[in-house]
Structure 1
């Protein structure tokens, strides 16, 4: 079994804990059409969005952090640059053709449950982890590490999770959690605040820094904790976590896309996941039910 008796378990956000209710281009198109825009298909929105996102990320990396830009401005640029070519192809720089409510409505939608669904099994998994930590774990901390901006804690809260206000800031200025409050998520690390994105190990180092600030971790060092990361992308999540010295769990159903260095764990697998990860083996699970089983947790609890 692993030598560490404390576990830091962190999750990716988008694509792991929550997913869009409907394809993002469809939601973008629906909001735009509700405001009177027309003459484009969802496929055209998809292509234009991808081009706008790529251009904005290159010009203003890490959601604008590198150039002192706030995420609202960053996303507003993408929204405008998605629809300018579709509604005014002869003059892409003409802002007057877009309804003033377009960006605010889309920003609001994708900052809450209006735009997303919580991944099945999330709440039972987190609540069971709190009630019955995997053997032989004595101390457990649960966090979020995500390539995203400051909307993530609000999205998770709107989806029914109890999210601590502790967010990595780099200068110890984050809101202090209420010691009497019970949280599903102990802290959040956002690439915007760190200034670096997965697979850069500095975003994982930021999580270790926050870990040691938690009351449950007082008197311990980061090296005494087994660190495990769960995400849905091989390159960013599995490779990034492994390079940072973390165990990696890839969440997904398509076995054809599983790399050779990732062990696929099926339903009914025994509860030795922490031992497998401690040995340096990255694993893949289909969903949170299989993850719970592989941690040795009971899975009979139904989704609230």
Structure 2
């Protein structure tokens, strides 16, 4: 049996296949703390304590998610101000004496540049897998905990056209693993949960969220051995491994 035939067989019961984005299809060119420091240095904010920046960014993302969930949608802050406030809060802790105009420029630059291809790269095999699924005549979509700029990012990376829809948590008004965000594509495409498959890299958010919503799911994780509740044929270390499995194995759903 050819690889294409086997892939068609493995996916025959599905009409819709969706993907997470960050660390599933795309990844940051540099880890955010490194990129924040790099951009700050380019804008004249120097001698940054990288360890302190790492810790501040981690804490501030958690704090902002609590105070203004879903990139500020829940509190009407708005996603642009959410990111600007986050950046300013981080650098106020790291560089307390940074001039306000320099802080404004840094926040606005990071907000803008993270929507360009300069700050992103592809996970190996991601475009190949999406194209193979499209060739199998399936609906293909995105379900991502992301702000509304995701379409811009995908357009910059020249893959927006590969998807029938792009659903962000901001648009949905709910974040994965909430079942609400998984229900919206089903309604749009008139598809039953057992006809849908979601592929992502986060166990609770992607795999469990999809399964609890009645979907099938594939998990991409290099820590595959630690997930006792995931079928061995439903977790893979990379997208390349997913392609290999779809084309060469009988996957039981």
TM exceeds 0.5? Answer: yes
Report the equivalent of 1:148: 146
Of 225, 229, 246, 1:261 maps to: 229
CA–CA distance in 2 between the matches of 1:112 and 1:157? 9
1:191 aligned to 2:169?
yes
Question: Is 1:9 paired with 2:7?
Answer: no
Q: What SS does the aligned partner of 1:82 have?
A: helix
SS state at 2:103 partner: coil
Structure 1 residue 82 displacement after superposition: 0.5
Normalising by structure 1, we get a TM-score of: 0.73
State the SS of the aligned residue for 1:84.
helix
Q: Give the 3 Å change call, closer, same or farther, for CA 141–29 of structure 1 in structure 2.
A: same
Distance 1:86 1:2, change over 3 A: closer
TM normalised by structure 2 equals 0.87
**Is residue 234 from structure 1 mapped to residue 232 from structure 2 by the alignment?**
no
Alignment CA distance shift 1:249-1:3 (3 Å): closer
Query: 2:6 matched to which residue of 1?
Result: none
CA gap 1:72/1:95 in 2 versus in 1, 3 angstroms: farther
Specify whether residues 16 and 111 from structure 1 end up closer, same or farther in structure 2 by C-alpha distance, changes over 3 A only. same
Greater RCO structure (CA 8 Å; 6+ sep): 2
Whether contact under 8 Å (1:31, 1:102) holds in the other structure is yes
Answer whether contact 1:18 1:116 (CA < 8 A) is retained: yes
Instruction: Check whether the contact 1:35–1:99 (CA below 8 A) recurs between aligned residues.
Output: no
Instruction: Tell me, yes or no, if the aligned pair for 1:6 and 1:224 is still in contact at 8 Å.
Output: no
Q: Secondary structure at the match of 1:36?
A: coil
Quote how far apart the aligned CAs of 1:294 are.
2.4
Structure 1 position 235, deviation (Å): 0.9
Structure 2 residues without counterparts, runs of 5 or longer: 1-8, 249-253
1:60·1:66 contact (CA, 8 Å) conserved in 2? yes
Change (3 A) 1:50 1:195: same
- Corresponding residue to 1:200 among 178, 196, 208: 178
3-state secondary structure, aligned to 1:66: coil
> What SS is found at the alignment partner of 1:142?
strand
Which protein is richer in helix relative to its size?
A: 2
Q: Report if aligned partners of 2:186, 2:192 keep a CA contact under 8 Å in 1.
A: no
Query: Do the aligned partners of residues 48 and 259 (structure 1) sit closer, same or farther apart at CA in structure 2, a change above 3 Å counting?
Result: same
Moved segments of 4+, more than 3 Å: 1-6
Task: Write out per-residue CA displacement over residues 21-74 of structure 1, whole angstroms, 9 at most, x where no aligned residue.
Answer: 111101000111111213322221111111221121111111111111221100
Aligned to 2:125: 121
- Per-residue deviation, 1:225: 6.0
Q: Report how far residue 290 of structure 1 moved.
A: 2.1
How many correspondences in the alignment?
241
Deviations 1:138-197 (A, max 9, x none): x51000001111121221221221x2xxxxxxxxxxxxxxxxxxx311101111111111
Work out whether 1:68 is the aligned partner of 2:76: yes
Which structure 2 residues correspond to residues 1-304 of structure 1 after superposition, within 5 A?
5-88=13-96, 96=100, 98-131=102-135, 133=136, 139-161=137-159, 163=160, 183-212=161-190, 222-223=191-192, 226-256=195-225, 258-265=226-233, 283-296=234-247
Q: Does the 8 Å CA contact 1:84/1:98 hold for their aligned counterparts?
A: no
Structure 2 Cα separation of the partners of residues 27 and 223 of structure 1: 41
